């Protein structure tokens, strides 16, 4: 115990004295920034080597027994330590501001990236829905076109069948031509046979003329329907040429027959005049045979005429069916043309959609590139943020070390003395003052003199608070100890003195007045303020009372 009681004397004014002692500090853990008295670094910067040199510096005054020199040396050292702590606090503040700025930039970038991704997702969904609809329309049109193509192929097959039937009809006319040739060759033996054949030929010629006209009509229709029927026209032309050849051949046979009659009549008139009577019987027999052959040829020609009529009926049916097929083919061609137009329009729409999709892909690529760039910037900002946090942790550790060093230099155990004002029952006004404060440089603010029985007693403390000192001034000297408690050191602050000396007022203060709050309320306020500040930096505190 340091104070008047240590000298064994009894202090009359002990009710006016209050001593505040700081207990020993044991390192437990370190948290939070310090509450440092205001000072200006003056633009001085400290490096790690400077701080380590400052911490490892040993104070060796020239005169070990000169308290003033020792005090001045320690004051200068403490001033430099405060400047270093101030510099670290400013650096810590800059780092916190930069950290907050980086966090804001990171949140802004992440929000922007999320908005861009949302817009990209919406555009992609819209384009996918458009593409799906176009693909469905395209598939339906392809199916419809395939169905139309199958109908057209069926119509072409039926048309080819009709063409084969017509060719078969034309081929069946070939035996008729052969029969006509054979009849013409047989008619050369007799005049009656030739005449009947000429009549039959005329009728056939008329029928062939009608057939030619009908075939020309069919040829025109077939040319409009399909170019494939041109082969039929060529075959019809060949048939007409054959008929013309047959006509010329019959004419030449008639001329030869006439010339033969004239020549034979003259020769026979001169040479066979006597043999006519004997040959009349033979000629009659031959005439009868020719007549029988003529009747047989007539019946054969009638049968052939019936067959020609049947083929004509078949040809008419084929022409009707061919007309129907032509109509169907025209309708199918018109439908195919309309389908082709629709497919062309859909193809144009599909091309436009593909172009739009390509543009969206390009914009998505640009957005993705911007996103990657923003991501890279975010990574760089995160790296810088981690560096700032690391520097902040290192600075906090160094600040704790400097703060602890200052408190150790001040003393792990400190005794403060506070003198309360005089009350009405303490002493009369005409009595000399029992408590006075020295004004010498060495003991200014640290010394106190007590007058007892006319004898002075001088005492020196770490700090002496005069009666006019406020609660705030007392707390300023204790606030650094509260910070040490937050840094993890065990701290004990207690007040001792006689009853009525002011212990409760110093520790608790007066309720209802902020200026009169004591050490305990102010310490709690500082603790909770530091907790709130450090909680924003990621620290977590658990408190128990």
**Are 30 and 400 spatial neighbours (Cβ–Cβ below 8 Å)?**
yes
Q: Using CB atoms within 10 Å of the CB of residue 493, give its burial: 0 to 12 exposed, 13 to 18 middle, 19+ buried.
A: middle
- What residues does each domain of the chain span? 1-25+412-545, 142-265+280-367
Confidence of residue 415 (pLDDT cuts 50, 70, 90): very high
Identify the pLDDT of residue 24.
Answer: 37
> Using CA atoms, how far apart are residues 493 and 508, in angstroms rounded to an integer?
13
Identify the pLDDT of residue 56.
Answer: 80
**Type and span of the H or E element at 419:** strand 414-419
pTM: 0.38
pLDDT surpassing 90 at residue 521: yes
Highest mean pLDDT among 121-135, 273-287, 334-348, 494-508: 494-508
pLDDT surpassing 70 at residue 198: no
- Of the listed ranges 11-25, 86-100, 178-192, 208-222, the least confidently predicted one is 11-25
If you ran DSSP here, which 8-state letter would residue 441 be given?
T
Identify the pLDDT of residue 40.
Answer: 45
Measured from the Cβ of residue 13, the count of other Cβ atoms closer than 10 Å reads 21
If you ran DSSP here, which 8-state letter would residue 536 be given?
T
Indicate the CATH number for domain 1-25+412-545: 3.40.850.10
Identify the pLDDT of residue 154.
Answer: 83
Identify the pLDDT of residue 139.
Answer: 84
Identify the pLDDT of residue 279.
Answer: 66
Residues with Cβ < 8 Å from 51, sequence gap 6 or more? Answer: 84, 398, 402
385: which 2 tokens? 């943020």
408: which 2 tokens? 């150790």
End-to-end distance of the chain based on CA atoms, in angstroms?
Answer: 28
Closest CA to 179 of 303, 292, 295: 303
Residue 345, SS3?
A: helix
Q: Using CB atoms within 10 Å of the CB of residue 420, give its burial: 0 to 12 exposed, 13 to 18 middle, 19+ buried.
A: buried
pLDDT surpassing 90 at residue 395: no
pLDDT surpassing 80 at residue 157: yes
pLDDT surpassing 70 at residue 504: yes
Identify the pLDDT of residue 10.
Answer: 31
Chain centroid to Cα 238, Å, comes to 74
> Using CA atoms, how far apart are residues 159 and 218, in angstroms rounded to an integer?
13
Q: Starting from the edge strand earliest in sequence, which strands make up the sheet with 17-22, in order?
A: 463-465, 414-419, 17-22, 493-496
Residue, of 132 and 195, whose pLDDT is higher: 132
Identify the pLDDT of residue 208.
Answer: 65
- Of the listed ranges 57-66, 68-77, 295-304, 417-426, the least confidently predicted one is 57-66
Identify the pLDDT of residue 305.
Answer: 77
Identify the pLDDT of residue 171.
Answer: 79
Identify the pLDDT of residue 134.
Answer: 81
Supply the DSSP string of 453-495, one letter for each residue.
TTEEEEEE-SEEE-TT--HHHHHHHHHHHHHHHHTTB---EEE
State the average pLDDT over residues 24-42.
36
> Using CA atoms, how far apart are residues 298 and 304, in angstroms rounded to an integer?
10
- Angle at 231 (CA atoms; ends 225, 237), nearest 5 degrees: 110
pLDDT in tens, 206-217: 766 776 676 667
pLDDT surpassing 70 at residue 151: yes
- Of the listed ranges 153-157, 182-186, 501-505, the least confidently predicted one is 182-186
Identify the pLDDT of residue 260.
Answer: 62
Residues with Cβ < 8 Å from 521, sequence gap 6 or more? Answer: 508, 509
Identify the pLDDT of residue 49.
Answer: 79
Closest CA to 491 of 21, 50, 139, 80: 21
Identify the pLDDT of residue 507.
Answer: 93
pLDDT in tens, 339-394: 888 888 888 888 888 888 888 888 888 888 988 888 899 889 989 888 888 888 78
Closest CA to 500 of 3, 114, 13: 13
| Percent of the chain surpassing pLDDT 70 | 72
Identify the pLDDT of residue 261.
Answer: 59
Name 391's bridge partners. none
State the average pLDDT over residues 56-76.
76
Identify the pLDDT of residue 417.
Answer: 94
pLDDT surpassing 70 at residue 9: no
Residue, of 270 and 102, whose pLDDT is higher: 102
| Percent of the chain surpassing pLDDT 90 | 7
Measured from the Cβ of residue 250, the count of other Cβ atoms closer than 10 Å reads 19
121: which 2 tokens? 């997702």
Task: Round the average pLDDT of the chain to a whole number and report it.
Answer: 76
């Amino acid at each position: 115990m340091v104070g008047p009681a240590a000298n064994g004397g009894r202090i009359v004014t002990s009710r006016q004295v209050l001593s505040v002692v700081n207990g020993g500090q044991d390192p437990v853990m370190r948290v939070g920034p310090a509450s440092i008295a205001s000072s200006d670094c003056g633009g001085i910067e400290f490096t790690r080597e400077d701080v380590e040199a400052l911490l490892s510096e040993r104070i060796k005054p020239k005169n070990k027994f000169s308290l003033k020199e020792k005090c001045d040396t320690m004051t200068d050292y403490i001033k430099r330590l405060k400047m270093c702590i101030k510099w670290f606090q400013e650096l810590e503040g800059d780092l916190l501001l930069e950290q907050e700025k980086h966090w804001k930039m990171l949140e802004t970038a992440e929000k922007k990236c999320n908005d861009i991704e949302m817009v990209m997702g919406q555009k992609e969904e819209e384009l996918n829905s458009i593409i799906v609809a176009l693909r469905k329309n395209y598939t339906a049109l392809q199916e419809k076109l395939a169905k139309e193509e199958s109908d057209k192929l069926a119509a072409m097959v039926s048309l080819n069948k009709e063409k084969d039937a017509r060719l078969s009809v034309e081929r069946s006319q070939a035996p008729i031509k052969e029969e006509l040739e054979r009849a013409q060759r047989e008619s050369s033996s007799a005049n009656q046979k030739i005449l009947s054949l000429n009549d039959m030929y005329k009728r056939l010629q008329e029928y062939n003329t009608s057939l030619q006209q009908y075939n020309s009509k069919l040829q025109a229709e077939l040319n409009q329907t399909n170019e494939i029927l041109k082969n039929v026209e060529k075959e019809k032309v060949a048939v007409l040429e054959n008929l013309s050849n047959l006509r010329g051949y019959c004419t030449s046979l008639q001329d030869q027959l006439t010339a033969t009659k004239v020549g034979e009549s003259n020769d026979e008139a001169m040479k066979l005049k006597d043999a006519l009577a004997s040959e009349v019987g033979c000629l009659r027999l031959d005439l009868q045979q020719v007549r029988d052959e003529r009747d047989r040829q007539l019946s054969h020609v009638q049968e052939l005429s019936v067959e020609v009529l049947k083929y004509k009926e078949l040809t008419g049916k084929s022409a009707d069916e061919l007309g129907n097929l032509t109509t169907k083919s025209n309708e199918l061609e018109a439908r195919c043309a309309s389908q082709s137009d629709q497919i062309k329009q859909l193809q144009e729409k599909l091309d436009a959609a593909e172009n739009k999709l390509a543009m969206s892909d390009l914009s998505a690529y640009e957005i993705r590139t911007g996103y990657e760039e923003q991501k890279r910037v975010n990574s760089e900002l995160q790296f810088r943020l981690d560096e700032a946090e690391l520097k902040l942790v290192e600075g906090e550790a160094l600040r704790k070390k400097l703060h602890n060093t200052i408190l150790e230099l001040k003393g792990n155990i400190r005794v403060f003395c506070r003198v309360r004002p005089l009350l009405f029952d303490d002493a009369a006004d005409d009595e000399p003052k029992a408590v006075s404060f020295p004004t010498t440089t060495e003991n200014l603010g640290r010394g106190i003199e007590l007058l007892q029985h006319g004898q002075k007693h001088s005492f020196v403390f770490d700090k002496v608070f005069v009666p006019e000192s406020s609660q705030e001034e007392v707390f300023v000297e204790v606030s650094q100890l509260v910070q040490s408690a937050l840094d993890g050191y065990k701290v004990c602050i207690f007040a001792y003195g006689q009853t009525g000396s002011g212990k409760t007022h110093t520790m608790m203060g007066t309720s209802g007045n902020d200026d009169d709050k004591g050490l305990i309320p102010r310490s709690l306020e500082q603790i909770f303020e530091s907790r709130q500040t450090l909680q924003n930096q990621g620290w977590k505190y658990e408190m128990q009372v």
